[in-house]
Amino acid sequence: MPYVTVKMFEGRTDEQKRALCEKVTAAVSETTGAPSENVVVFIEEMSKNHLSTGGVRASDQ
């Protein structure tokens, strides 16, 4: 049973997240041969002030 975690900034609509889950599931199923009903997708949303690159928060860029 494949598990996929997608980490992204908050702000996407439910429709966008639904489409993301459908496409990730299809891609994983196609490449691994796992039945789509066994593919689990987690979406972890974070605010831009919870990530930094090079010491600069994404919210400050």
The whole-angstrom separation of Cα 34 and Cα 60 is: 41
3-60 fold: Macrophage Migration Inhibitory Factor (3.30.429)
Q: What is the pTM of this model?
A: 0.87
Per-residue model confidence (pLDDT) at position 39? 98
| Residue 29 burial (C-beta neighbours within 10 Å; 0-12, 13-18, 19+) | middle
Catalytic residues: 2
Per-residue model confidence (pLDDT) at position 28? 98
Q: Which residue reads 């039945």 in tokens?
A: 35
- 51 Cβ contact partners less than 8 Å away, ≥ 6 residues apart: 9, 57, 58
Below-70 pLDDT ranges, the chain: none
